[in-house]
Chains A and B, each alone.
Chain A
Amino acid sequence: MIAATQLRLVLVTPEKTLLDVPVKSLQFPLFDGQIGVLPGRTPMVGRLGIGALQVVSESGSQTYFIDGGFAQIKGSIVTLLTNKALPLDQIDAAAAEKDLAKAMAVLPKTDSEFSEKELEIERARKQIGMRRWMN
Chain B
Amino acid sequence: MGKARVLVKRRKSVRNIRKITRTMELIATARFKKAMDRATEAAAYTKKINEIVADLSSADLTFTHPLLKQPAETKHVTLLLLTSNRGLCGGYNGGLLRTALARIREIQKEGLELQLEVSGKRGLNAMKFEQIPVDFKYTQFEDKPGFDEVNEIATRLVGDFIEGRTQRVEIVYQKFESAARQAPAIETLLPIGDLATDAGGSASGVDYEFLPSAEEILEELVPAAFKARFFKCFLDAAVGEQIARRVAMKAATENAGEMIRDISMEYNRARQTQITSELAEIIGGAAALE
A and B together in one complex:
yes
Q: Which of A12-20, A88-96, A98-106, A127-135 contacts B (4 or more CB under 8 A)?
A: A12-20
CB pair A42 B48 closer than 8 Å: no
Count of residues in B whose CB is under 8 Å from the partner chain: 33
Query: For the complex, is A47 an interface residue (Cβ under 8 Å from B)?
Result: yes
Tell me the complex Cα distance, A62–B227, Å. 29
Cα(A16)–Cα(B49), bound, Å: 14
Question: B104 interface residue, CB < 8 Å from A?
Answer: no
Asked if A44 and B209 make an inter-chain contact with CB atoms under 8 angstroms apart, the answer reads yes
Binds A, one of B87-95, B216-224, B238-246: B216-224
B264 is an interface residue with CB less than 8 A from chain A: no
User: How far is A96 from B41 in the complex, measured between Cα atoms in Å?
Assistant: 28
Q: Are A44 and B210 in contact (CB under 8 A)?
A: yes
Known contacts A14-B147, A15-B146, A16-B42; A45/B48 CB under 8 A:
no
CB-based nearest A residue for B51: A72
Q: How far is the CB of A127 from chain B (nearest CB, A)?
A: 15
B147→A72 contact, CB < 8 A: no
Question: A42-63, CB under 8 A of B: which get 1 and which 0?
Answer: 1111110000000000000000
The answer, among B147, B159, B209, B214, for a CB contact under 8 Å with A13, is: B147
Given A14-B228, A70-B221, A112-B159, residue A46 in contact with residue B211 (CB < 8 A)? yes
Chain B residue with minimal CB distance to A30? B211
Is B136 an interface residue when CB atoms closer than 8 A count as contact? no
Determine if B231 and A14 form an interchain contact, defined as CB atoms under 8 angstroms apart: yes
Residue B179, interface by CB 8 Å: no
A31 interface neighbour in B44, B49, B211, Cβ under 8 Å: B211
Q: Does chain B have a CB within 8 A of A23?
A: no
Residues on the B chain within 8 Å of A43, using CB: 206-209
B158 CB, min distance to chain A CBs, angstroms: 10
In contact, A14 and B45 (Cβ under 8 angstroms): yes
- Residues 139-160 of B at the A interface (beta carbon under 8 Å): 146-148, 151, 159
| A residues lining the B interface (CB < 8 Å) | 12-17, 30-32, 42-47, 68-70, 72, 74-75, 79, 81, 83-84, 112
